[in-house]
Structure 1
Amino acid sequence: MLYGIAAATAALLLTALLAGALRTPALRLGLVDRRRRTRPVPLLGGAAVALATCLVAAAGNWTRLAPLGDGVDQVLIAGAAVAALGLAADVWRLKTRFLLLGTAVAAAFVVPYDETGVPGGMLAVAFVAAATLAFRSLDHADGIAGTVGVLTAFGAAACAAAEVMDGLAVLLSVLAAALTGFLMHGWPPARTGLGACGSLFTGFLLASAAVLTRSGYDLAGTAAVLGPLVALGAADVALVVLSRRLAGRPLLRGGPDHLGHRLRRLGLTGQGTTVILGVAAGGGVLVGVLVHAGWARPSAALWAAGGALLVVLALLRVPVYAPRRRPVETVARPARTPRQSVQPVRRPPISGVQPPRRPPSSQVRAPLRVRNG
């Protein structure tokens, strides 16, 4: 208990210091959010979260003050690999399919196949990969991904504590503290961003921890717990996919069509948008925790799903795309022909008629005329 509090405090302070210290190098290296046109926001805040979480958790496991246990250390190592993949995406702008493939490969090493079986393990890998990318989509405005990550981490830690998985609970508590330290710099208006490094790392740890916690349970009950935990990220992805399909836009083309963008269109401030989405995520997390603890029926997850569907349908009517401009029709002008030089027409002389001679000049004397004549 005392070590958990000390570890959380150390993670919070270390993340806050690293996020502030890495801001200037990120600006000098050009590692900024390219979606923002008004002011540059560095993207090494997520690296600070991943580094602080890994250092504090590894220190507790090495000193044996808070051993992570079997399977949890593999989750931490795989999460560090996913964070490195996200950092590469921040630097070189990797495509989404590479992020999905790398996350799925990392998830394949942490799923407990002896408890889930091969079919269940494949479903778990797909869930971890999809939930990780869905959490990354929440990093579209200041503070949203960090706030949702803190609340989800506390909920997943409560589920792990109910299963007496102390190492996993400590890891999630350290993650929540690190995200809180990041929010000291990432609360809107943010001075640093989470980026793909931090969002993929956080989403992977949360999804993998939820899968480890629910391993050995039936599929329906597991879906009733995992669904509310990731309800907000799933709603954001569904909203983006539907709006882009209806507008005829490519699915992988970015745009201001996420949850936070639409709430800002309705007149909310950045802080208000973060608070409202945090409350919505907290409601889903509370439902998942209650269902896992047995204090609510699995059918309670339908309320979370229905609420997410209503949010998607309501915000789908908010216009976010600029109207397309019609091309101006131009009238084709005829090609200019080169000007032809006009040659004077020479008339042939009339036969028998001599042309009149010019009169002699009065300035020429008679002897000269005779001489030259």
Structure 2
Amino acid sequence: MPAYQYLFHFIAFLVSATVVLWSTPVVKFLGLKNGYVDRPNARKVHEQPMVRLGGISIFAGTVAALAIVWLLGAFVGLSPEQKGGILGVALGGIGFFLIGLADDLFNLRPLSRLLMQMAVAAGVWSMGVSIDFLSIPFNGLIDLNGWVSLPVTVIWLVGMANAINWIDGLDGLAAGVSGIAAVVMLVVTLFMHQPAAALIAAALAGGALGFLRYNFNPAQIFMGDGGAYFMGFTLAGVGAIGLVKTTAVTAVVLPYLILAVPIVDMSSVIVSRISSGCSPFLADKRHLHHRLLKAGISQRLTVLFIYALTLWVGSLAMAFSGLPSGIAYAFGATMLLAYVGWQVRRSIQIRN
């Protein structure tokens, strides 16, 4: 890829972050004025009402960035299949954002949210945002022909949107995890020669990391379901069109590895709820961040530990992809995780 094209990715990141930094205070003001706040309860950690519409800023920043690089010609020369995938992720992101925003404003029923998410996911599948291969340990790849890929794709897209929403329980947690995952996807998709998918990752990374200016502990605003659904779907969509389209076993595995933290957290919570006879959709305090808080770790250290964990699995994905110096990045991330883990252990010992 010509060196000048990397400038488009930098522009996408910078524009998205700038729009988020500028617009978030405006969204906060309007949210407070109109009473769109998330009130404390027994399950939640915050102690005062917080505006829950910050996802509007993340969405606006990402869309503005993609619109600008599109006008600059960043998407010129794509094949019809690639254009369909990019358009599918863009339209699907809008759909998931609107579902989440409607829930933030009107408190939709869980079943209605799920059905709408499945409908949007099925729609973007028809546009080319699809999981075409599955990697089976010790058995290579399974080709998902035709309609067989539909349920797998819907589960992937809807599942990731909800996984990011489920970890949005502490100040800066979902935004930071999504931002780190988006940066890793940006690097890996560029290495895999998927610059169009990388542009979406760059725009999302800028929006998510820019939002941390107002969302990191102590948070001034929450992203709400609109932001969480949008980021989760977009990350899943980039993985589908940028990595899983190849028949290489390593590439097929990469999106699941990059997003392993929210995937494992959601899966373990669902299993725990079902095994105890509860509904898998019943909100409780079984998530990793809840367990760390219960052990006596501060909010900030809990969030930083999960950041380090996300960066670690992301570095493993970079090493697994064959990225130059990927092993060195993985080693550095391992050392960072070990240090933060030591701080966590020390904090627990002091409390006990």
**TM-score by shorter chain over 0.5:** yes
* Alignment deviations for residues 12-49 of structure 1 (CA, whole Å, 9 cap, x no partner): 12101211111121122222223556211111111110
Q: Which residue of 1 aligns with 2:94?
A: 80
C-alpha distance in 1 between matches for 2:69 and 2:87: 11
* Alignment deviations for residues 212-254 of structure 1 (CA, whole Å, 9 cap, x no partner): 1234434964553232122111222133224434544433222
Work out whether 1:90 is the aligned partner of 2:104: yes
1:58-137 → structure 2 map (5 Å cutoff): 58-65=67-74, 67=76, 69=78, 70=83, 71-111=85-125, 112=128, 116=132, 117-118=145-146, 119-137=148-166
Runs of 5+ consecutive residues of structure 2 not aligned to the other structure = 1-5, 133-144, 335-340, 342-347
Residue 291 of structure 1 deviates from its aligned partner by 2.5
Among 34, 37, 49, the residue aligned to 1:32: 37
Amino acid at match of 2:263: A
Q: Alignment length, in residue pairs?
A: 302
Work out whether 1:13 is the aligned partner of 2:18: yes
CA separation of 1:248/1:113 partners in 2, compared to 1, >3 Å: closer, same or farther? closer
1:195-210 → structure 2 map (5 Å cutoff): 195-210=224-239
* Alignment deviations for residues 158-196 of structure 1 (CA, whole Å, 9 cap, x no partner): 222123222221221111011111000000111100111
Task: Give yes or no for contact 1:11–1:174 (8 Å, CA) kept in 2.
Answer: yes
C-alpha distance in 2 between matches for 1:152 and 1:56: 18
1:262-341 → structure 2 map (5 Å cutoff): 262-293=291-322
Residue 64 of structure 1 deviates from its aligned partner by 2.0
Q: Which residue of 2 aligns with 1:51?
A: 60
* Alignment deviations for residues 317-338 of structure 1 (CA, whole Å, 9 cap, x no partner): x9xxxxxxxxxxxxxxxxxxxx
C-alpha distance in 1 between matches for 2:241 and 2:74: 22
C-alpha distance in 1 between matches for 2:316 and 2:63: 29
Among 23, 27, 36, the residue aligned to 2:28: 23
Residue 147 of structure 1 deviates from its aligned partner by 0.8
Task: Give yes or no for contact 1:61–1:68 (8 Å, CA) kept in 2.
Answer: no
What secondary structure sits across from 1:91 in the alignment?
helix
C-alpha distance in 1 between matches for 2:311 and 2:123: 29
What TM-score does the superposition give when structure 2 sets the normalisation length? 0.77
Runs of 5+ consecutive residues of structure 1 not aligned to the other structure = 305-310, 312-317, 319-373
Structure exhibiting the larger radius of gyration computed from Cα positions:
1
What secondary structure sits across from 1:109 in the alignment?
helix
Residue 199 of structure 1 deviates from its aligned partner by 0.5
Residue 105 of structure 1 deviates from its aligned partner by 2.5
Residue 90 of structure 1 deviates from its aligned partner by 0.8
Q: Which residue of 2 aligns with 1:343?
A: none
Task: Give yes or no for contact 1:68–1:171 (8 Å, CA) kept in 2.
Answer: no
Task: Give yes or no for contact 2:91–2:124 (8 Å, CA) kept in 1.
Answer: no
C-alpha distance in 1 between matches for 2:102 and 2:71: 28
Work out whether 1:251 is the aligned partner of 2:280: yes
Q: Which moved more, 1:83-92 or 1:219-228?
A: 219-228
| Superposition CA RMSD, Å | 2.9
C-alpha distance in 1 between matches for 2:77 and 2:303: 32
Amino acid at match of 1:77: L
C-alpha distance in 2 between matches for 1:187 and 1:175: 17
CA separation of 1:47/1:68 partners in 2, compared to 1, >3 Å: closer, same or farther? farther
Task: Give yes or no for contact 1:83–1:200 (8 Å, CA) kept in 2.
Answer: yes
Q: Which moved more, 1:283-292 or 1:189-198?
A: 283-292
Q: Between the two proteins, what is the percent identity of the paired residues?
A: 21
1:149-164 → structure 2 map (5 Å cutoff): 149-164=178-193
Amino acid at match of 1:47: I
